[in-house]
Structure 1
Amino acid sequence: MDDEETELRNPFPSPPSHYTRYTNHNLKLLELLKERAGDGADIAVLNQYDVLSDQTDVPEWSIATLEKPRVDWILEEGHYTVFGDTWFVKETIPSLAELGGHQLYPQDPSVDRRPALRSILRSLLVTYSKLLSSLLASPPTSSSEGEAEWKQHLEWINILAQNIMAAANDLRPVQARGNLELMMCRQLELRREETKTIHSKCDSLEAQLAELRQAAQGLASASSAGASQMAVPTPIQLPDPNKMSNEDVLRWAEEVI
């Protein structure tokens, strides 16, 4: 009981308990049983204790349950059953006729169903009006006559409503495809708008960088011109040594230093 409560409280339930049966020993017993049974034999009806009498640890449950399902049979039948529910290999929407109903519109989806659906809608409105008239009419002399009339109207309205609902369900794949196309077109438009915005921003940044580059080049050229002017040395006037005395030479050396 505690294990069941724990399993129910667990949001991610554990796998079925029979997965523990798929051990290497049991799988070897299954292969040995199939070899001794021969080709084409149904191992599910064999007595595994007699066939595997020389083996140890033969389980009490049928080893044939470990055999893989026949995929070719599933593909041939087109459906399979799991826990009592039938699932089709190829998901299809069954028509109203396949479900046992009275279908009033064409079965072939390539045929235009609009005329048939318009007729069904008009018939539904007319039958509803007749139903109201039968309900508002004076009470019949016998109960069977009045009940038969309004019951027929109700049954026919039920059939017409089933046809309209079935035809609408047949259009669900078309509706889903249309919604997907609209969603993809909207996403494409958003991507294009975002790309256009990014390109415009990049253009403005490139223009700003070009202006900054030109300003930097102007400052660099101006600074280089000023540095060249400052770097020109002033020529030193050297006195004529033939006309200078020793005192003049010493005075000139002190001025230079």
Structure 2
Amino acid sequence: MDDPQQPAVTAAFAPPPPLWKHFTRENRNKLEEIKKEASKGTNGEPVRDKKWSPAELRELEVPAELRCLVPPEIPTGEYSVFGELQTRSTTLPSLKEQGIDQLYPEPATTQDKDTAQPTSNLNHAYYLLKISKSLLLNFLEFVGALSVSPEQFESKVNDLRNLFINAHHLLNLYRPHQARESLIMMMEEQLQRSKDEIEQMDKVKAEIESALEQMQAHAGEIDPISTSAEKAPPAKKDTQQGLEDARQVWDILDKEI
């Protein structure tokens, strides 16, 4: 018999919503037929390659099983994700707004003259180091409390939880800075690749010009006016030299491109 006191095993992640079962090929074909019927013009012929906007799709009269295939409206204000309320605002709420004890001072913002955006002068690294040391100390106190009076563990667990939340919130304050630095690094890499390509093209251009100058100098050695047999070079030799010049140019291009 199963132990009634044993806690039930729960999934680590929430199951997918049941609406995924409606995304079948048959339902998609039905929706395409409805779109074709709705896009017919005055002559009764459907408009080819019509681009349907989400708002236009929501205005169509479709069965309940096809309603899940229509993009929903963009949420305004708060919305629920796995039972938790989320907001569309990208501003990180402070710990005080969430009812959590904040262990570091509020960052004082100053106006940046270059970007006209408020910048924080809070020393995040200093307070992260202090929180890390407090975590080690509180963990030792937590282990000591478990060895002496295990029933008093709750207060130390709450202290550890509060320290972890504060450290996590401090790290999240770095997200805008991380995004800017990542974008700067990507742009610098792209600029460096462009410079390398330009230098490579200049190198190929110089080598091709050198090869063309050699070909021109070789052609200048041949007297095009003279028609005497003793001065005119053999045609076979000229053909071989021309092939060698062309092969030299192609070798440069194959090596560099």
> Partners of 1:194 and 1:12 in 2: how far apart?
47
Q: Name the CA distance, whole Å, in 2 between partners of 1:190 and 1:12.
A: 44
Query: How many Å separate the matches in 1 of 2:137 and 2:59?
Result: 61
State the secondary structure of the residue aligned to 1:183.
helix
Query: By how many angstroms is 1:228 displaced?
Result: 10
Counterpart in the other structure of 1:101: 100
Question: For the aligned residues, what is the CA RMSD?
Answer: 3.6
Question: What amino acid is the match of 1:181?
Answer: I
Q: Residues 106 and 113 of structure 1 are in contact (CA less than 8 Å); yes or no, is this contact kept in structure 2?
A: no
Q: Work out which of the two has the higher radius of gyration on C-alpha atoms and give 1 or 2.
A: 1
Unaligned 5+ runs, structure 1: 22-78, 141-145, 231-257
In percent, how many aligned pairs have the same letter?
A: 22
- For residues 63-212 of structure 1, the aligned pairs below 5 Å read 80=77, 87-88=87-88, 90-108=89-107, 109-137=120-148, 140=149, 146-148=150-152, 150-212=153-215
What amino acid is the match of 1:80? G
Shift of 1:226: 3.9
Separation in structure 2 between the aligned mates of residue 18 and residue 114 of structure 1, nearest angstrom: 49
Measured against aligned partners, the alpha-carbon deviations of 1:61-86 in whole angstroms (never above 9, x if no partner) come to xxxxxxxxxxxxxxxxxx63578976
Is the alpha carbon distance of 1:189 and 1:123 closer, same or farther for their aligned partners in structure 2, counting shifts above 3 Å? same
Distance 1:196 1:225, change over 3 A: same
What amino acid is aligned across from residue 122 of structure 2 in structure 1?
A: V
Unaligned runs of at least 5 residues, structure 2:
1-18, 32-53, 62-75, 108-119, 232-257
Query: Using the alignment, how far apart are the partners of 1:172 and 1:12 within structure 2?
Result: 40
1:162 Cα offset (Å) = 0.4
- Alignment deviations for residues 174-213 of structure 1 (CA, whole Å, 9 cap, x no partner): 1121112112111211211121111111100000001111
Q: Is the 8 A contact 1:105 1:116 kept in 2?
A: yes
Structure 2 CA distance for partners of 1:134 and 1:82, relative to 1, 3 Å:
closer
Specify which of 1, 4, 8 is matched with residue 23 of structure 2: 8
What amino acid sits opposite 1:197 in the alignment?
Q
Residues 192 and 7 (structure 1), Cα distance of their counterparts in 2 relative to 1, 3 Å cut: same
1:224 equivalent in structure 2: 225
Query: Which letter maps to 1:201?
Result: V
SS in 2 for 1:93: coil
Q: Distance in 2 between matches of 1:120 and 1:213?
A: 75
Secondary structure, in 3 states, of the residue corresponding to 2:77?
Answer: strand
Give the TM-score, by structure 1 length.
0.52
Alignment length (residue pairs): 161
CA contact (8 A) 1:105 1:113 kept: no
The alpha carbon displacement at 1:147 in A equals 1.2
Aligned twin of 2:237: none
Q: Judging changes above 3 Å, is the alpha-carbon distance between structure 1 residues 99 and 179 closer, same or farther for their aligned structure 2 residues?
A: same
Aligned equivalents of 1:211, 1:101: Cα separation in 2: 79
